[in-house]
Amino acid sequence: MPTAPYSLSELIGKGSFGRVYKARGIKSGQLVAVKIINIDNGDALDPGADTFGDILKEVETLKLLGSAGAKNVNIVLDVLLVGHTIWMVTEYCAGGSVSTLMKPSGYLPEQWIIPILREVAEAIYWVHRQGIIHRDIKCANVLVTEAGGVQLCDFGVAGLMETKFDKRSTVTGSLHWMAPELFNPTVKYGTEVDIWAFGSMAYEVASGLPPNANFRDISRFGTYLKHHCPRLEGDRYSPGLKDLIACCLVENAAQRPPIKDIQRHPYIFETESTYPAVSLSKLVSAYKVWEAQGGSRLSLFSPGGAQRDLNLGSELSSVADDEWNFSTISSLDQPDVSDSLHSVFVETYNAAAEPWAQPQKPLPYRRRQPPPNMKMPKAPLEKLFDPNTITNYQDNARSF
C-alpha cells in the first residue's frame, strides 16, 4: 500500500466515525488537519448508513464552496483513500473551535462575540449563495485561527438545494440548535433552519449553553419549542445582542430574516473597524495561557469534547490517556505568568477564570490499607486481568 503523503502528529479530535489529526505534508511541509474516517466502522454502527457516500457529499460541498471563492469556510485540500479509511485533508486552525475557546470561562464577552458572529454570518452567506444548507451551525463547528480568522466547518450533514425554492425533508442536526420545523416530518424546510441555528449559536457563545439546554426529550422537543421560544435574558447582555438572537429565533420559519438581513443587523453591521477579526488572535493567546497553567482542553472538532478511545492501537493514541490536552509543559516546569499576561487574561475573559493560579502537584500515591476485620487476600491481584494468567482468585474471593 502506498505511503500517505502526510505525517500525522497529534490527535486533536474524535467524532462518531473517525478521528482528526494535526499533520504536515511530507513534501510541502504545510500544516493541515486530517480527518480519518473508517468506512467499515461507520457502516457497522448504522447498517443503513452510506459512510462513503456521506464523505463524498461533504467533499463535493466543500469543493463547490472552494471553487466559488467562499469566505470563512474551512476548505478541503485533499481527499485520499488509504486502506479502509478516507483521509480528508483540510486547513488547520491552531486556535481551535469557539467552544474550545469558551472553556476557561464557559462563555465569551461581547467584544469577541461581535466579530465571531459577523464572520460566521459571512460564511453562511456564501453557503446559502451556493444553494447549500449547513444544518449544523454551532460553536463546536466554528474554528478560529491563530491570526484571528474565523472558519465554518463540518459540512457532513449539509444539504444541497437545486433551486432557491427547494425545500428539504431529512431531519438532521444537533438537538438544541435545531429549528422547530425540523421536528415536523410533514414540513419541508430551507435555509431558514440555519438562521435559527445561528441564533442558537449566538445564544450559546453568550451564555455558555444552547437554548433549552435542560430539555432533552427529543420526542417532545418540537412541541416544547412552540411554547418556549428561546430569548436571551439578563442584565449582562447588551440590547443589540438580545435583539439579534430574537430576530433569528422566530418559531415561524417564514418570518425569519435571510442571512443578508442578519448581516445588516446593527449589532454586527459595519463593526470591522471597531471589532476586527484579527483581534481574536488575542483571545487565542489568552486561551493558551490558561491551557499552559493547567486548564483542560476539549476537542477542536467535535461537540462535547473528544472522548477517550481505549482501543486505539497506535502510538498516536497516547494522547487519550486522560483528556485531550495538547500542552507539552509538565506540572514541574510550568512557567510563571507575568503580570502583563495576567492582565491580558483578565481583560480577555473578564476575569471569569484564574489561569494564574499554579496547579497543585499531585499527592504521592498511597496504597489504601484493607479494613482491620478483613484478612489479606490469599492470592495476588496483580495479574487478575491478564487473560493468559492462571489464577484461583475467584475461588478465594468467595471466602470473603
- Beta strands in the chain, from DSSP E residues, in sequence order: 6-14, 18-25, 31-38, 76-82, 85-91, 96-97, 132-133, 142-144, 150-152, 159-160
Catalytic residue from among 40, 43, 136, 154: 136
The residue to which cell 449547513 is assigned: 134
**Which amino acid belongs to residue 120?**
V
Q: Bridge partners of 143?
A: 97, 151
In the chain the first and final C-alpha atoms are separated, in Å, by 55
The string of DSSP letters for 24-73 reads EETTT--EEEEEEEEHHHHHHHSTT--HHHHHHHHHHHHHHHHHTT-SSB
243 is catalytic: no
The phi, psi pair for 196, rounded to 5°, reads: -60, -45
Residues at the binding site for ATP are 35
Cα 31 to Cα 295: distance, rounded to the nearest angstrom: 25
CA distances from 225 to 137, 174, 216, 243, 245 (A): 18, 15, 12, 19, 15
Three-state SS for 387?
A: coil
The phi, psi pair for 245, rounded to 5°, reads: -65, -40
Pairing of strands 159-160, 132-133: antiparallel
Largest pairwise CA distance in the chain = 78
Residues at the binding site are 35
Q: Which residues are catalytic?
A: 136
